[in-house]
Amino acid sequence: MAERHTQIITHSVAQTQSVGQILGATLKQAFIIALNGDLGSGKTAFVQGLAKGLDVSEKYYITSPTFTLINEYPGRHHLFHVDLYRIESVLELEEIGLDEVLHQDAVIAIEWADKLPEGTLSNHLAFQFKLISDESRQIDIFAYGLPESNLLKAVEKRVQTELKE
């Protein structure tokens, strides 16, 4: 059960990226972020902002690793961007080395995390992206674990301030 939940509405790709950037800038340690939502709902835009907040060099173009499955970027914290869209079985998760990635001292953003077997993730933040219109997104964020809950509280406060400006 989630320890904390918040909902954010963004009205542009830039605002969705800002939410990711705020989270990335706030992170002080390794972290797992589960991302779910329909195609085009903002998951990759969020990760682009996350990378910026983690000080990943702008020379890296952050795109969804739909075919490579896992992209890795150096930054203030190492970022692994995982996309499970094309994964069909638990065996494939083993083949791509997801278990090793999950044990890295890094920030790990997993698109289509709902494809993971139940119980794979313990403490993490879960984002559910929903299309409201062509530009607007509803982002529900759930914190699983006390440190995650505290982080979400800090991020929520910054998002409320920065998105209103």
CB neighbour burial string for 26-42, b if at least 16 within 10 angstroms, e if fewer? bbeeebbbbbbbeeebb
Among left, alpha and beta (phi > 0; psi -120 to 50; other), residue 142 is: beta
Average pLDDT over residues 129-150: 93
**Domains observed in the chain:** 4-142 (3.40.50.300)
Report yes or no: 12 and 105 within 8 Å, Cβ to Cβ. no
Specify the pLDDT at position 109.
97
Check if the beta carbon of residue 23 is closer than 8 Å to that of residue 48.
no
Separation CA 94–CA 7 (nearest Å): 33
Would you say residue 67 has pLDDT above 80?
no
Query: Full-prediction pTM beyond 0.85?
Result: yes
Taking 70 as the threshold, does the pLDDT of residue 108 lie above it? Answer: yes
Number of other residues whose CB lies within 10 A of the CB of residue 98: 22
Cα-flanking dihedrals φ and ψ of residue 124, to 5°?
Answer: -170, 170
Quick one: pLDDT band at residue 50, thresholds 50, 70, 90? Answer: very high
Contacts (Cβ under 8 Å, ≥6 apart) of 153? 4
Q: What is the pLDDT of residue 88?
A: 87
* 136 — pLDDT class (breaks 50, 70, 90): very high
**What is the average pLDDT value for the chain, to the nearest integer?**
91
Confidence label for 165 from pLDDT (cuts 50, 70 and 90) = low
Mean pLDDT (whole number) for 141-150? 90
Rounded distance, CA 90 to CA 94, Å? 7
